[in-house]
Each structure stands twice: as C-alpha cells, then as structure tokens.
C-alpha cells in the first residue's frame, strides 16, 4: 500500500547556458519507495550568473509522474563573469562612442581655435600614423 514502484531513470532539465543540474542518490535509476528513507540529491552547478528554469521528473509505474518545475537563481561569479564580453558589449560600445565624440570635439577645437588644417587638426593622428608606418 505504501510502496510505489518506478523503474525509469529520473529526468532533470535546465538552461544549459546558466547551470548544469545533476541528480544523485539511491533512487536515481529507479527502485522501490518504501517507509525506509531514501536520499535523492539535486546539485546545481552554476556556470554563470542568471536565472534558469529547472524541470525534475520522477516517472512512476502505476501512478502519474511527479513533475516539479521551479526557477534557480545562480549568484555572480565575479572575476570570471567580468571576462564574459557578451555581457559588457553595450558598455564597450558606449566608451568607444564617447571616445569618438571626444576625437571629433578635439578636431573641431584644433581646426577653429588653433588654426590647424587638414590631417594636422586630428589629435594624435600624425604620431599614430608615424608609429604605424614604422612597422
């Protein structure tokens, strides 16, 4: 009466870009559930910061399957996460844009107030081209 038999492997699924879940324990490959305690462990191996949905399915032979759905939030990985450029592409584009605006502003300043003409009005361009030609 209290025994539920299942002989199918427990299924766990999640967003593989954020975490890699792992199920371990006595009943991971099927077995007999009785009054004796059985341990089933679900480990979350976070790969990066973010939220991931998790689906845990326990198939039962004579009853409906047990399906659990929940969300796991992985914490920041700090140093290694900072190296993930895809998360910082907007910031890098903003810095390049500000630098480009500064270069245009300096060129206009050199052209209008200092009286420089042509390529000489662009700051650092002549030394940069000389350094580039040195290669």
- Model confidence pLDDT, tens digit, residues 30-39: 777 678 887 8
C-alpha angle 40-5-58 in degrees, rounded to nearest 5: 45
> Both 65 and 126 in a single domain?
no
**Burial of 72 from C-beta contacts in 10 A (0-12 / 13-18 / 19+):** middle
> Both 31 and 52 in a single domain?
yes
Q: Domain span at residue 98?
A: 88-133
CB atoms within 10 A of CB 6: 20
Split into its structural domains, the chain has a count of 2
> Both 46 and 26 in a single domain?
yes
Domain boundary among 77, 107, 122: 77
> Both 73 and 38 in a single domain?
yes
Full-model pTM: 0.48
- Tell me the mean pLDDT in the region 6-23: 82
pLDDT digits (tens, 9 = 90+) for 80-134: 555 666 667 778 888 899 988 888 888 888 778 788 777 777 777 777 778 888 8
pLDDT value at residue 1: 43
Domain boundary among 32, 52, 77: 77
**Burial of 70 from C-beta contacts in 10 A (0-12 / 13-18 / 19+):** exposed
> Both 29 and 70 in a single domain?
yes
> Both 11 and 73 in a single domain?
yes
Give the whole-angstrom CA distance, residue 41 versus residue 22: 8
> Both 9 and 69 in a single domain?
yes
pLDDT digits (tens, 9 = 90+) for 38-62: 788 889 888 888 899 999 888 877 7
> Both 70 and 100 in a single domain?
no
pLDDT value at residue 87: 65
> Both 73 and 92 in a single domain?
no
pLDDT value at residue 97: 92
> Both 54 and 94 in a single domain?
no
- Residue position matching structure tokens 């003409």: 117
pLDDT band at 16 (very low <50, low <70, confident <90, very high): confident
Given a cut of 80, is residue 29 above it in pLDDT?
no
Q: Give a yes or no: residue 33 inside a domain.
A: yes
> Both 11 and 72 in a single domain?
yes
Given a cut of 60, is residue 79 above it in pLDDT?
no
């Amino acid at each position: 009466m209290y025994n539920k038999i299942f002989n199918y492997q427990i299924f766990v699924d999640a967003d593989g870009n954020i975490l890699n879940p792992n199920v371990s324990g006595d009943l991971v490959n099927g077995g007999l559930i009785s009054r004796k305690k059985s341990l089933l462990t679900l480990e979350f191996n976070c790969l990066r910061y973010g939220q991931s949905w998790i689906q845990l399915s326990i198939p039962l032979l004579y009853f409906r399957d047990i399906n659990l759905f929940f969300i796991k939030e992985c914490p920041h990985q700090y140093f290694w996460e900072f190296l993930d450029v895809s998360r910082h592409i907007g910031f890098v584009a903003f810095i390049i844009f500000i630098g480009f605006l500064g270069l245009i502003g300096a060129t206009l300043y050199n052209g209008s107030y200092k009286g420089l003409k042509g390529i000489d009005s662009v700051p650092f361009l002549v030394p940069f081209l000389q350094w580039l030609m040195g290669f």
